[in-house]
Amino acid sequence: MNGGAGGQVISLVLRTGGVIMSDTPRKPRREPGTTRPRAHSPQALPHEKPAGRTDRLPPYKLLLHNDDVNDMAYVVQTILELTPLSREEATQRMLEAHNNGVALLLVTHKERAELYAEQFASKGLTVTIEPA
């Protein structure tokens, strides 16, 4: 080989222990635990939502209705399986529906309330939703 540019690369590889190094400058590394500076300040972006919870979805009630078909223990077990309610809360809701005809299970956004209603229906229980 001649001593041209290819010879420089080979000698560089030999001097660095087999690692080809680039002569292009690299960006300095940030210290660990620091964050990249923001390109825009929050005030400069008009499409961003203001601070606070203005983006909340409208709440919906999930209502459990009494029926004369399902066993009370089955209703409690189904509530436990499908919702985040505790055993005591599930039992209270079941008794309220049994005694009053209807009980408020929980309040959530419409899409989740619809999902709950479908899940309860698949288990043979009557649940409706309505705006809170």
Instruction: Give pLDDT tens digits along the chain (132 positions).
Output: 555 555 554 444 444 455 545 555 555 555 555 555 555 444 544 455 555 555 688 999 999 999 989 999 999 999 999 999 999 999 999 999 999 999 999 999 999 999 999 999 999 999 999 999
**Fold classified for 59-131:** Ribosomal Protein L30; Chain: A, (3.30.1390)
Q: What are the distances in angstroms from CA 90 to CA 73, 82, 103, 119, 127?
A: 10, 11, 10, 16, 14
3-state secondary structure 46-106: CCCCCCCCCCCCCEEEEEEECCCCCCHHHHHHHHHHHCCCCHHHHHHHHHHHHHHCEEEEE
pLDDT of amino acid 28? 59
Return the pLDDT at 16. Answer: 47
Which residue, among 81, 110, 82, 80, has the nearest Cα to 92 in the 3D structure?
80
Its pTM stands at: 0.59
Which SS3 state, helix, strand or coil, does residue 55 take? coil
Q: Is 32 helix (H, G, I), strand (E, B) or coil?
A: coil
